[in-house]
Amino acid sequence: METLLVGGAVRDRLLGLPAGDRDWVVVGSTPEAMLAAGFRAVGRDFPVFLHPDTGEEHALARTERKSARGHRGFVVDAAPTVTLEEDLGRRDFTINAIAERDDGRLVDPYDGQRDLEARVLRHVGPAFAEDPLRVLRAARFMARFAPLGFTVADETRALMRGMVAGGELADLVPERVWQELVRALRSQRPSAFLQTLRDCGALAVVLPEVDALYGVPQRPEYHPEVDTGVHVELVCDMAAKLAPGDDEVGFAALVHDLGKALTPADELPRHIQHEQRGVAPVRALCERLRVPAAHRELAVVACREHLNVHRLAELRDQTVHDLLARCDGFRRPGRVRQLAVACEADKRGRAGLEDHPYPQGEELVRLRDAAAAVTGADIAHPDLKGPAFGEALRKARIAAIGAARTLRRDPG
């Protein structure tokens, strides 16, 4: 029996990246032997075990044979006779098919080190085409590694296009699509995820509402990049810069302009009421991918309110209050902060405007805090009950917003 470090831990060390989770492959063992050694079985579709001391995942070396459509349609062989090279051969990309022995020697039968040096994402073999999820994994890896100069190998790109054309992606389950999307949104360059999927035709399959934005023109005086799809790419990258790792903000950035795909042709390049038009497709996308409530709620708020936040200085005090109330901002201050960041990403996610200041974000949070400082205890009175109490609290908070604005304009 031999245990080797494998996959992302080896890849990232060779790239000089911070160490993440470590995964291990065990060659020449059996489930019974693993359990006898104190490991705990956790794998549902194939034999994976948790180490009794470290809790790290140890998987028996295995091969996979396609038996049905979809990413779960495989017959797994994890017999002790499966070799390390056979296990590495069923992996997705050459850069993930490198193992490390306990003495530091590398096992690299598919030249993953060469592709790491060349900054190329290349599939290991033809079995790549048997798992449609790997198209999304390729796009997600590009979201992480494009800043390092990685590109997708021509033959891998051609294989991905063939998989999409053959209808393989129709079998993906929503949870797995969402999982890959979220990981891309946490990465440094989510735009590379969108570009990679669009290049092979997959974006129209998994995110048709986003794909529909490409080619939709915007007014160049506000959007020098003109193309709405390009704008969304820039916004997603800006969100990743402003709120690293916050996939709720990232998702809001991704879907904030979906309504522009629904603008009547005779209104282009203007997009009148695109915020209201966008709410329905945002909700439809969230329903289809079974998006968690926190992501969905922030996304709807950002879609509906981003223009209001942009013109915050023009809004009346009571309009600012009602905007905050619609966002549930008095109970959820974090949502207002996330909305402010998403709106800043929208404003700065435009060609040539990346470094422009966005005082509206800070001001929105400041006015929310000023209004929220007024509580029910501040207006308590025996005669104030029910709707009258709520209206009194609203007026007091509106007054607080006005006072905060006056103080900002005339601090003396």
Q: pLDDT category, 379, cuts 50, 70, 90?
A: confident
Report the alpha-carbon distance of residue 412 to residue 404 in Å, rounded. 13
Does the structure show a pLDDT above 80 at 163? yes
pLDDT at 377: 74
345/239 Cα distance (integer angstroms): 5
Quick check: 214 and 227 in contact, CB under 8 A? yes
CB-count burial class (<10 Å; 0-12, 13-18, 19+) for 117:
exposed
Q: How far is CA 407 from the centre of its chain?
A: 39
Convert the pLDDT of each residue in 286-334 to its tens digit: 999 999 999 999 999 999 999 999 999 999 999 999 999 999 999 999 9
Q: What is the DSSP letter of 187?
A: S
Which helix (DSSP H) or strand (DSSP E) does residue 5 occupy?
A: strand 2-6
pLDDT of residue 412: 52
Q: What is the mean pLDDT of residues 161-180?
A: 95
Q: Is the pLDDT of residue 386 over 80?
A: no
Q: Which of the pair, 64 or 195, is modelled with greater confidence?
A: 195
- CA 275 to CA 341: how far, in whole Å? 17
What is the reported pLDDT for 171? 87
Assigned token pair, 256: 């904030």
Q: What is the CA radius of gyration of the chain?
A: 26
Kindly report the average pLDDT of the chain as a whole number. 93
The pLDDT of residue 76 is 83
Distance CA 21, CA 183 (A): 15
Q: Is the pLDDT of residue 279 over 80?
A: yes
Per-residue confidence (pLDDT) for residue 409, from 0 to 100: 66
For residues 200-222, average pLDDT: 97
Residue 412 C-beta-side C-alpha neighbours within 13 Å: 0
Does pLDDT of 68 surpass 60? no
Residue 69, pLDDT score: 58
**What mean pLDDT is predicted for residues 140-161?**
97
Please tell me the predicted confidence (pLDDT) of residue 363: 97
320 CB-contact burial (10 Å; exposed 0-12 / middle 13-18 / buried 19+): buried
Question: Which pLDDT band, with edges at 50, 70 and 90, does 75 fall under?
Answer: confident
Average of per-residue pLDDT across 261-266: 97
Report the pLDDT averaged over residues 84-92. Answer: 93
Cα(226)–Cα(179) distance, rounded to whole angstroms? 31
Per-residue pLDDT at 410 exceeds 80: no
1 vs 404, more confident: 404
Pairing of strands 23-27, 57-60: parallel
**Confidence class of residue 345 from pLDDT cuts 50, 70 and 90?**
very high
Closest CA to 338 of 329, 325, 347: 329
Instruction: Please indicate whether residue 368 or residue 78 has the higher confidence score (pLDDT).
Output: 368
pTM of the model: 0.91
Is 70 a residue whose pLDDT tops 80? no
β-pair type (120-121, 151-152)? parallel
Please report where in the chains the tokens 């060659």 appear, as a residue: 27
Q: With 70 as the cut, is the pLDDT of residue 380 above it?
A: no
Q: Is 71 helix (H, G, I), strand (E, B) or coil?
A: coil
Is 1-118 a domain of CATH 3.30.460.10?
A: yes
Domain chopping of the chain, boundaries = 1-118
Mean pLDDT calculated for residue range 246-272 = 97
């997959």: which residue's tokens? 202
3-state DSSP: the chain helix, strand, coil percent, rounded to 5? 55, 10, 35
Q: Is the pLDDT of residue 406 over 70?
A: yes
- Please tell me whether the peptide bond between 244 and the residue prior to it is cis, using omega within 30 degrees of 0: no
Q: What confidence score (pLDDT) does residue 382 get?
A: 67
Report the pLDDT averaged over residues 18-24. 87
Rounded Cα distance, 129 and 352, in Å: 40
Indicate whether 44 pLDDT > 90.
no
Segment 131-145 shows an average pLDDT of 97
3-state secondary structure of 224: coil
